[in-house]
């Protein structure tokens, strides 16, 4: 899911409702679509986002054990994020999924003149496990997710 939450200092309540809607959609779809990502311009700090998303999602930098960028916008704030469902973040047991897993390879900020935001890129290795828990090499693939405004 890609999002651009409401902006402005007086829109915190609106953003919280928007995040609750995103969490609700993710929960409803989790059985049909177990591997999920939410990315975009959240116009919020991590603290205000994780309250709504942390039961289902992990920040891509956290999942890759990397330091997050200090800012993704010219105002000196981090507003842009890629969140991974727990199975894509390497935590398949946490979310009860044993057949589909992921391992974050890395997340990276990328400066471009195409936006007033810094692009976030996340590389994730995704695979499927068969009934015996063996990795199916033919399904292994690398996914590169790019978010920019």
Domain boundaries, the chain: 2-147
In terms of average pLDDT, the best of 26-35, 66-75, 88-97, 127-136 is 66-75
Q: Is the pLDDT of residue 92 over 60?
A: no
Instruction: Quote the CA–CA distance of 24 and 27 in Å, as a whole number.
Output: 5
Whether the Cβ atoms of residue 123 and residue 106 lie closer than 8 Å to each other: yes
Looking up tokens 């402005």, which residue turns up?
Answer: 8
Q: Which tokens go with 99?
A: 């057949």
What average pLDDT does range 121-142 have in this prediction? 59
pTM: 0.79
Q: What angle do CA 22, 149, 37 make, to 5 degrees?
A: 35
- What pLDDT does residue 65 have? 87
The label of the residue with tokens 């471009």 reads: 112
In angstroms, the CA 104 to CA 83 distance is 11
Q: CA angle at residue 84 from 89 to 135, to 5 degrees? A: 40
pLDDT of residue 138: 40
Three-class SS state of 101: strand
């Amino acid at each position: 899911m890609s999002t651009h939450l409401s902006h402005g200092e007086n829109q915190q309540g609106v953003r919280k409702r928007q995040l609750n809607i995103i969490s609700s959609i993710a929960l409803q779809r989790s059985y049909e679509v177990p591997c999920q990502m939410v990315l975009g311009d959240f116009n919020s700090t991590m603290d205000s986002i994780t309250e709504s998303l942390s039961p289902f999602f992990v920040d891509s930098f956290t999942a890759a054990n990397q330091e997050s960028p200090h800012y993704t916008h010219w105002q000196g704030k981090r507003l842009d994020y890629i969140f991974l469902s727990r199975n894509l973040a390497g935590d398949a047991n946490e979310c009860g999924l044993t057949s589909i897993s992921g391992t974050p390879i890395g997340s990276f900020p990328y400066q471009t003149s195409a936006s007033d935001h810094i692009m976030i890129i996340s590389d994730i290795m995704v695979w499927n496990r068969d009934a015996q828990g063996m990795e199916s090499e033919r399904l292994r693939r690398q996914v590169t997710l790019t978010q920019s405004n």
